[in-house]
Structure 1
Amino acid sequence: MGGGTQVTMNMFTELLKTITEHTTDEAPDDNHVKVILYFDDAHRLIPSSDRWQPEINVLEALQSCLVSTYTRQLFVLFLSTVSQLGEFAPILRLPSSARTRGPGVLQAPITELPFDCSPNLPIYPYLYKLDDLSKDRFMAQFGRPLYWALADESADAQDMLYFIQSKLIRRYVPTVLPPRTEQSKEIIILLDVRLLLNYQQHRDITIRHEDNLVANHMRMIYCIPNTRDYLRSSYSSEPILAEAAAKNLEKYSEEFEVILDALQEAHQSGLLDKGAMVGLVARLLLTFAYDRAIRDIYPKPSGRPHYSRGVRLIDFLKALFCETWIDAIMRCTPDNVSSKVTLEDMFKDSYVRFTHFGKVTDETGTTTERARGHHDSCPHVEQRALRICHDCHMYPSQATHPHRRSQRILD
């Protein structure tokens, strides 16, 4: 053991002794972890994969130092959003230094992240008004710990949302349009958060695109196959992230053609799944009709979450359909019961609220969509069949919960 390593071991022993003296842990022995080290952006420790241009392997040098502490109460994490797992786990019998490997089985890479683990969960019914659901501190309870940790630190609502907007598109000033050449890429990222884009599987362009989303744009990894050739990832339902994506898309609201051009470019390049375009078009129309209704009703946002506030169903329908047909739609009466009450009168106190879409396979998804503000998109084996579960809430004045709940299945 080298002199430097021995000094490190002595200092680590003193640290453990100090920790023991200042804690009241009732554990029966000293085998439990007392110190956790983590190295963020650990992929930067790995040298170039070019075998003809060898570089110093900082990761193996670090492992040489850490392996001598494997019997101590130390746990080390290497964190990365870049998929270089083949380099992180070289063949055990061929390390460049025997000191870089301790005895025993190597720890497999961990891809799972905590989700929906806020101390304020679960959410109980009958405690919130519709307006409460759109407050930043409520939405921050869902999804990654990043959000509710920021909220618990009393971060200003506008600053917190601005931070998430910046992190999502990896730009410090999200309110300014990027260069024209970068706009299509940014639009696809934002649409993916809200619409759950379906990508062509197992194509090089898709693998590179999803790797980039995970590394730089807050996409979540679900699993990694044994081959390590690609990642299984997506955007889970996170209300405050969807709100950030909606506010970032606001810059493009005046030029809808730019959004269509971005989708067309992704379609022609082979990035998007050509068999799922019908559902994508339907989700796009519903989402942008909702956004337009929001901007018409709340034209001057004051920095608070804006698109999560919800709008009357009547206003949503007026934004969805053209003037030629909307009057006839508003005057419609039921054809399955003997009632002369028009659609406009029946649903005058009804609200819709959704900022993004989520995939569901059973009825349990409908119980959470009201709190999270998402629509349910039900997958179907046939392209011609599209099913979207649309929740409509009928609120009496100042109600803390829906007086009646009407669920519509759009086929």
Structure 2
Amino acid sequence: MPGVIWLMYLTRELSKTGLENWVIASPNLPDSRDIVVMGFNNEELQQWKSGMQTGVEKNDWVGLIKHPKLRRIRKVPNDVHIPVIIGLGLENAVICAFNLPYYGGSHTLLLRVIDELHALPIERKHTNIVPIVQSSGTGKSKTVDEVAKMRILFPLCIREHIGEICFAYPPTDRVVHDHLLRAVGTKNVGKCKQYFRSFLSALFTLAHLQGQKLFPGGKKVSYESMVMTFRGFFAEPLQRIEFYEAVVRKAQESPDTTRTSVWNSLKELTDGLKDRCVKWLPTTQCPILISIDEVHAVSSTLFVVVLMIGRTPFITLSTNLSGIKETASSMRGRTLPAPVTELPFDVYVINQPLTPSQATLASVGSLGFTAKFGRPLFYSSYLSRKDLPNIVEGIMRNVREKLSGRVWPPTARVDTIDASSIAVLSVRLHLDLSLATAYGKPYEEELVRNHLRLLYSVHENRETFVTGTSPEPLIAEASAQILNHSLMTHRFENDGPYMDLWSLLGKFVDDGLASEGAVVELIGRALSISAMDRAINRLSEVCELKYQTPVAVTDYYKALLTDEAWDVLRQSLPANRARLNHDSATKTFEDAFQDAYFHFSHWAKANDTFPLRDTLAWALWLRGSAVYLQPNQERTDRMVPIYFSTRGKVSPDTMSLNLEQDRMGPADPANIDIQSAEALQIFSHEKLPYIAVVHRYAVTKNQGIFVTPTSYDLRRQTSNDSIDSEESEAPRYQIVLQGLSAYDITGTTRTSIQAMINHVQKSPISLVYQLLDGVQLQGTEQLPALPPQARRGSQHSLTRRIFLVQVLPYDCVK
């Protein structure tokens, strides 16, 4: 052991020298943990110490370079998958991140589910398996480790081998992984079951013997002490490796284990621990647990054997949604409990909540601020590595690779729709696959498994599940970096964007993966994200995380619109100026928003208009989230928070909104609801200027930008109206964008958008929309338009009207 400690010390010192791209390795032992277990023999250790001393004192590393166990590797970044030995400091950082304090109550929820299952009478206990299924980085292993502080738990990790220069934690129990994987390869189901029974029997037998060593003599200990003793035992790598090596050896020595033998070995373990315990747990609580991390590699037949035991609950952890129930031997066994999906999220923000009037423009955009939001992996990685060099690039590269499922940097352009491209687009645009066709389900499973999409819930039948893109600004930053990455191949035909947003989005729609009603809003969200990226790319100074940089409202609209359209907008006045005082009524758009800023890198979905209030908009601004609403929401479709920096720090008092409506059909703007701040109850304080935009993408005539008062405003204005000192409304800058001519987009982008518009207009449901709007269709007679009060109905009421159109004359639908 002293030799191993000395080896680790020397390696740590070596990492500080110019040999950072060298590692200690062995052809037969590719893993750093194997090297530490192996150590050096005396001759190799002396050669290492001598070479190290000469190198430090004389800067002569020739002797060390000739060491038989030192070899050169390619340089690798500081990922969460950590290089071995050279990354000893980084490897320690990963372990440190795992051991940070746990926030949230997911572990108590998990334990409650386990105890409820354990307490069921035998005739009702259909299974003893509690599955945890969730995306990567959400704290599955950490949650189970918290349970290990409350119950005796035997942890197994059978993660696939991730490469010789990578490190993941908790480490793979490789001997167990290799042993169990051999059983999966057999075609004889009976022998496969026998194989797993032998392993479980050996596990219980060796655990009983280990309990005798940990708690020797006749002295009894508390259950809590037993729990922490076992947890400490399995937390020590050498002890854990030796224990599972012994388990596998015993399993191989006794291949013909019966079901009774497994039961007897489990009973021997339980009785042995109970005899050494002062007060054993009541029968309603489960005293012994087994967890299997990354279980999907060997799940099929192992579960059949586990179900036969019935007494000890097994916790299985996986990112795989594939069903397990088909492998059960009976209908009772197939009735598995719904997987646990509720794991820590936003826990660092919950632990230290955002506070109004604390943050400024300079507060956002750093890795330390942005990583707090979302799953705990990223901020814990930041906390454990914040003093290490290149931390931003190291963590961001890891997020890019986890999101895309591809090694970074890429070498070939992506021009097809697959799980990887959908994941990258969805993080920023929030693609909702659940409302689309049946083709979306396989994509959802793959996105949860390998591309950071969250699993919200799974029904007990394990056929119905709900997934979604979570509003995590760090993942949105990774997506922005991917979408803005250019391939520099120095070959003209291949140079260009790695992923073209508009081309891929067009294929996503054309493949039928977007519901018809969502396409128009997808176009709007993509236009906004693209404009935001262009505005940031034009800035001379950006934040540590480039695409988390706040952008002036005026710079955003300069990027969104053509020069001609921007010139019209910047000189425009409030549409409701008849109800404003003189100063507000005569202030141009450019002057009103000269100190106002957007901060958004992604879109998030809201269930109602509650986020459309300054009391929540300030927190969304800090998160970098813009919000779009349900399809049936009245008055507005999307919202982007606006922060007025000269009015103070970020708080409700300094916030306003940019409201947007997306329209596909050529309905008259006079019949479209005014996005009124008063009707939506946006302001809880002084009324600030806000923006109301209507996009009418499908218009082909009279295209352009219009900033004149609407008929609504003109109707409210009479000859007796006068501009006095008191304002009855907040200044509303009304913008109507008809067609595509006012947007600053390329010809290729315009073609992609037009193709998406045509895709929707050809659908049967679109024809009904046009009938309801009184649009002239080819070969039909012009129909009278619906009255405005009918037009403003929700999608639900529209559905009812569509039904009526099918059975009643048109004039009855008034």
Common topology (TM > 0.5): yes
In 2, Cα distance between equivalents of 1:373 and 1:305: 12
SS at structure 1 position matched to 2:603: strand
Deviation string for 1:317-371 (max 9, x for gaps)? 1000011211121111224133332211221111101011111124245353122
Deviation string for 1:169-204 (max 9, x for gaps)? 11221x325454657653322111111113364743
Partner in structure 1 of residue 322 of structure 2: 84
Partner in structure 2 of residue 405 of structure 1: 655
- 334-343 or 220-229, which deviates more: 334-343
Report the count of equivalent residues. Answer: 381
Q: Residues 273 and 178 (structure 1 numbering): CA distance in 2 closer, same or farther, change over 3 Å?
A: farther
In 2, Cα distance between equivalents of 1:110 and 1:16: 34
Partner in structure 1 of residue 610 of structure 2: 363
SS at structure 2 position matched to 1:297: coil
* Structure 2, unpaired ranges of 5+: 1-196, 230-277, 488-495, 662-814
Deviation string for 1:105-164 (max 9, x for gaps)? 976421222111117421122222222121111111111111221122124222112211
In 1, Cα distance between equivalents of 2:213 and 2:337: 27
2:515 is the counterpart of 1:273: yes
Q: How many percent identity over aligned positions?
A: 23
CA contact (8 A) 2:425 2:501 kept: no
One-letter amino acid of the structure 2 residue matched with residue 345 of structure 1: D
CA contact (8 A) 1:375 1:390 kept: yes
CA contact (8 A) 1:380 1:386 kept: no
In 2, Cα distance between equivalents of 1:372 and 1:87: 40
CA contact (8 A) 1:38 1:77 kept: yes
Deviation string for 1:62-108 (max 9, x for gaps)? 677x866x3xxxx742111111333488256777xxxxx9xxx9764
Partner in structure 2 of residue 109 of structure 1: 339
In 2, Cα distance between equivalents of 1:185 and 1:221: 15
Partner in structure 1 of residue 566 of structure 2: 326
SS at structure 1 position matched to 2:591: helix
CA contact (8 A) 2:434 2:467 kept: no
Residue number among 295, 298, 310 corresponding to 1:42 in the alignment:
295
CA contact (8 A) 1:200 1:271 kept: no
CA contact (8 A) 2:601 2:624 kept: yes
Aligned-pair Cα RMSD in Å: 3.5
Q: Residues 228 and 355 (structure 1 numbering): CA distance in 2 closer, same or farther, change over 3 Å?
A: same
2:345 is the counterpart of 1:345: no
In 1, Cα distance between equivalents of 2:212 and 2:364: 50
Deviation string for 1:16-51 (max 9, x for gaps)? 789827969xxx95437888653222111124xxxx
CA contact (8 A) 1:195 1:356 kept: yes
Partner in structure 2 of residue 390 of structure 1: 640
In 2, Cα distance between equivalents of 1:267 and 1:92: 42
2:441 is the counterpart of 1:207: yes
CA contact (8 A) 2:636 2:659 kept: no
2:458 is the counterpart of 1:216: no
Q: What TM-score does the superposition give when structure 2 sets the normalisation length?
A: 0.43
Shift of 1:215: 0.6
2:428 is the counterpart of 1:194: yes
CA contact (8 A) 1:136 1:157 kept: yes
One-letter amino acid of the structure 2 residue matched with residue 274 of structure 1: E
In 1, Cα distance between equivalents of 2:627 and 2:307: 46
Q: What TM-score does the superposition give when structure 1 sets the normalisation length?
A: 0.80
> After superposition, where does 1:175-254 map in structure 2 within 5 Å?
175-180=409-414, 186-199=420-433, 201=435, 203-251=437-485
One-letter amino acid of the structure 2 residue matched with residue 359 of structure 1: K
**Using CA pairs below 8 Å that are at least 6 residues apart, which structure has the higher relative contact order?**
1
Shift of 1:262: 1.6
Partner in structure 1 of residue 45 of structure 2: none
Q: Residues 257 and 84 (structure 1 numbering): CA distance in 2 closer, same or farther, change over 3 Å?
A: closer
